[in-house]
Structure 1
Amino acid sequence: MKPFTERTITIIKQIPEGHIMTYGQVARTAGNPRAARQVSRILHSMSSKYQLPWHRVVNAQGRIAFQDEEKAAVQRNLLENEGVLVLHNKVSLETYQYVNHEPYESI
């Protein structure tokens, strides 16, 4: 497994319940600020295998990124079950965004 993928998995696993991160934020934290789409692919292909809390990752505006309403509803329900308020498929980044101020190496 590539180092970026390993770091991404570690970061996503550490998002606390009731908080979210954006795809770009995960990519920056993992060391590649231009890899938001790669984070999306990692989530899509590895969430089950690594038991990732995929529902805690949203787009840069705080929106649920799924176009499919059924998948969006699953993510919305999982977030709401953790106490995250989701209005019109959007989460307040100001309220719920997890910010780890430590550099990756200390995660």
Structure 2
Amino acid sequence: MLENNFYHKVYEIVRQIPYGRVTSYGAIAKAIGAAKSARMVGYAMNGASTLEDVPAHRVVNRNGLLTGKHHFPGTQLMRQLLEGEGIRVKDDKVENFAAVFWDPMSNAKK
């Protein structure tokens, strides 16, 4: 039950990520009050690519790497979804990461 509650909180934050922006596993963990749980956020995101209302493609690692790309159907779907929103990706890394990074602490629902 605890895991489901944690995942629910993660998905609520991910749903808030604006179009054309990305955030990181660690930023989500911090926003839900579990700052040292970035890996658990990653576990929550593993199956999120199948949830239509959770834009899982907007969650990357702290360096902007598309570490969750293998959880999307097809080999380049995560990159294609990001590029479709105007985010430039090169070598599986978001270019100009700081400029497109969205901090969930700035307006997350708690």
Q: What does 1:11-26 align with in structure 2 at a 5 Å threshold?
A: 11-26=13-28
Between the aligned partners of 2:41 and 2:16, the Cα distance in structure 1 is 15
Question: How many residues align structurally?
Answer: 104
**How far did 1:40 drift?**
1.1
**How far did 1:71 drift?**
5.1
Between the aligned partners of 1:17 and 1:62, the Cα distance in structure 2 is 16
Match of 2:101 in 1: 97
SS of the residue 1:9 aligns to: helix
Match of 1:33 in 2: 35
**How far did 1:50 drift?**
5.9
**Structure 2: runs of 5+ lacking an equivalent:** none
Does the 8 Å contact 1:55/1:75 carry over to 2? yes
Residue identity over aligned pairs, in percent, reads: 30
Between the aligned partners of 2:18 and 2:58, the Cα distance in structure 1 is 9
SS of the residue 1:5 aligns to: helix
Instruction: Return the structure number with greater helix share.
Output: 1
Moved more, 44-53 or 28-37: 44-53
TM-score, structure 2 as length reference: 0.80
**Aligned-pair Cα RMSD in Å:** 2.2
Between the aligned partners of 1:45 and 1:67, the Cα distance in structure 2 is 11
**Structure 1: runs of 5+ lacking an equivalent:** none
Between the aligned partners of 1:72 and 1:36, the Cα distance in structure 2 is 24
Match of 2:63 in 1: 61
Once the two structures are superposed, residues 9-35 of structure 1 have per-residue CA deviations (whole angstroms, 9 ceiling, x without a partner) of: 100011011000011111111110111
